[in-house]
Structure 1
Amino acid sequence: MDKYSYNKPKLDIPKSALQRLFDVVSIIAFMAGTVYLISVWNQLPDQVPAHYNAAGEVNRWGSKWELVILPIIAVLMAVFFTFLEKHPEWHNYMNLNRNNIEFQYKNSILFLNVIKNECVLLFVYLSFNIAQVALGKAESLGILFLPIFLVIMFGSIAFFIIRSIKHK
């Protein structure tokens, strides 16, 4: 076994232009979503959608203060994933060796960046939709929300796993 299998070196890998673009898009969307929530806060009823079923229909209502949790979770996840992006030597790899280590690190960093930003955008969308339903401007998330979300998330995961396997 190669020494890289157990002792992963720390490499200085800067963010790519694509990663920086994803981050900027998510930050702008997060800020816009937060501004939107603040702007409609006084118009929101005391009870807002708090949970949706698989068909995208509201199946629990809760306090509008529960809406504050979504941006907090998005920020905490973004901070955690950003931290992990900076430490690819801590990630798990299959068949890591000196010939593929840089590619595998870059792949893992990009994977985390994509998942992080997809999650932030998800929380922004959920916050927006909850406000829209509470204000009577929408009825639900819609029947296609869950399938689309799952295809995007699992599609991203599958893409990066396959990409990693191909470069062993």
Structure 2
Amino acid sequence: MSWLWISLAIVYSGSIVFLMINWSALPEKVPAHFNAAGEVDRFGPKVEMIILPIAGAFVAGLMQWIERFPEKHNYPQRLNENNVKEFYLVSRKMMNRLKNICLLFFALSSFEIITIAQGLENPLGNWLFPALIVSVAIVIVYGIIKQVKIR
């Protein structure tokens, strides 16, 4: 386990604790969806807040499981016995980074929704979703570049 994975697991767990601590202070209707500009465009019952930690755990668990089986990932035809370990390592690292980004996104989304629901200023601004897209794109492009360099 890497220090990053442990740190993100703590942040993710902290977001669940934050939700539990603030549960009684949440109004009956909380932000449930944001548009592309980062503005709330749908409110829903606060029980929907439970979906975020469950979805985050499911996605992280699924990606962790997929990461353990690099032989099942998709590779170019030039994969052979001489470069298979390099391809597997690059693919596992890419999956690990994507999993970490997802955990962070779910934690920050929960924090953002709770603070907005309590009438506080949006602490994260409107950058959360664009940052997610850019982060995922960077990880994927970096992984592809690393795979292209494998001979």
Fold equivalence (TM over 0.5): yes
The alignment's TM-score, normalised by the length of structure 1, stands at 0.85
Q: State which structure, 1 or 2, has the greater radius of gyration over its C-alpha atoms.
A: 1
Which of 75, 97, 115 aligns to 1:132? It is 115
1:48-87 superposed matches below 5 A: 48-87=30-69
Are residue 90 (structure 1) and residue 42 (structure 2) matched? no
Query: Given the alignment, which residue of 138, 141, 144 partners 1:155?
Result: 138
Residue 138 of structure 1 and its aligned partner are, at CA, apart by 2.1
TM-score, length-normalised on structure 2? Answer: 0.94
**1:89-134 Cα deviation digits (max 9, x unpaired):** 1111112112211111011111111001100110000000000000
Q: Distance in 1 between the 2:27 and 2:137 partners?
A: 35
- Runs of 4+ with >4 A deviation: none
Match status 1:100 vs 2:83: yes
| Residues 70 and 127, structure 1, Cα contact 8 Å, conserved in 2 | yes
Question: Paired residues, what number?
Answer: 150
% of aligned pairs identical? Answer: 37
Alpha-carbon distance in 2 for matches of 1:80, 1:56: 27
SS across alignment from 2:30: strand
The gaps in structure 1 that reach 5 residues or longer are 1-18
2:86, 2:127 → 1: CA distance? Answer: 35
Letter matched to residue 77 of structure 1: V
Between the aligned partners of 2:129 and 2:150, the Cα distance in structure 1 is 32
Return the match for 1:30 from 8, 12, 17: 12
Amino acid corresponding to residue 150 of structure 2 in structure 1? H
How far does residue 147 in structure 1 lie from its aligned partner after superposition?
A: 2.5
Q: Determine the C-alpha separation between the residues in 2 that align with 1:26 and 1:145.
A: 16
